[in-house]
Homo-oligomer: A and B are copies of this chain.
Amino acid sequence: MKSLLMKSILALLLLANAAFAADPLPSWNDTVQKKAILTFVEQVTREGSPNFVPPAERIATFDNDGTLWSEQPMYFQQAFTLDRVRALAPLHPEWKEKQPFKAVLEGDLKTVFAGGERAAIELVMASHAGNTTEEFAQIVKDWLVTAKHPKTGRPYTEMVYQPMLELLAYLRANGFKTFIVSGGGIEFMRPWTEKVYGIPPEQVIGSSVKTKFELRNGKPVLVRLPEINFIDDNAGKPVGINQYIGRRPIAAFGNSDGDLQMLQWTTAGSGASFALLVHHTDGEREWAYDRTSSFGRLDKALDEAQAKGWTVVDMKNDWKIIYPFEKK
């Protein structure tokens, strides 16, 4: 009996050792950024640590565009919007003469983007509303199957960051609940985040249109209205976090000025906290941009990160690979 016990204990020790030895972030180079992540997680999860945080309070929030997947040459949801406008054009002959639709149909993206937020909202409302929530989810899924990124030719859901996938899994393995907190559309993300990131719909927070409950021939549906319900960006991110989660995250991950207030809110709690910005420095493997970019501008938040000692990931230097398809 003793030998069986001893063997069992030895086997357990070996397993524990193997688990300990395996690198949870294999696509991260051994730089201070990786070390900062590992140190923070160790501090909040080790029983008896002065910074210990109970599992229920281990909330981590992630921006999506530019933090979990790429956002160039335009936000991927904008590519979806343009494709939707083109697909719906036969039902709207008036769009041929009406901006910003005319520019979309003529492929004149310069004019489309020159229209600013007003044009963007008009395009989103025309392409994201009018159907039921179930119909819209299906439209998103169908689009993702066929749409290809203009630079890589890959489906958009393959242009996610391998190091961030590892980080999500590592945090969850350490008892964290991972949330997306994105300026993007909540119903544009929910159909695929569980499969791609392991994040279920109820942990996705984003911008939204209003919906209306209706009985259609006795069958209840939720109809998407062409009216903004919530913009989950900038100061809207802490508002969204409070509204959906109801407690303060202890770790937040972003890449742009749109994430600044989320990082401020996260690091203003009473216990240990962690804030990280992904800095797009790799013009070869991804894109290099920050202070003057149209998409994902990183300016004020970069200054504040430097002043406050937040972790700033230098993609070129800190990440061994960018996308999962680069894996050998």
Contact = CB atoms under 8 A, between A and B. Distances in A.
Interface string A157-182: 00000000000000000000100000
A14 B243 CA distance: 46
Contacts of A82: none
A222 interface: yes
Given A4-B4, A243-B211, A200 B265 contact: no
Contact of A56 (B194, B219, B268): B194
A201 B247 contact: yes
Contact of A222 (B133, B204, B242): B242
- Name the interface size band of chain A: 35 or more
A245 interface: yes
A309 interface: no
Contact of A238 (B190, B222, B268): B222
Given A222-B238, A238-B222, A213 B265 contact: yes
A245 B208 contact: no
Contacts of A208: 243
A261 B220 contact: yes
A222 B245 contact: no
A16 interface: no
Interface string A1-29: 10010000000000000000000000000
Contact of A246 (B1, B190, B215): B190
Q: How many copies of this kind of chain does the complex include?
A: 2
Contact of A242 (B133, B203, B242, B247): B133
A55 to B, nearest CB: 11
A204 B246 contact: yes
Interface in A35-56: 56
B235 A213 contact: yes
A236 B222 CA distance: 10
Contacts of A219: 268
A325 interface: no
A238 B265 contact: no
A226 B202 CA distance: 28
Interface of A: 1, 4, 56, 59, 133, 177, 186-187, 190, 194, 200-204, 208, 211-213, 215, 219-220, 222, 229, 235-236, 238-239, 242-247, 261, 264-265, 268
Q: Which 6 A-B pairs give the minimum distances between C-beta atoms?
A: A201-B246, A213-B235, A190-B246, A202-B245, A220-B264, A213-B238
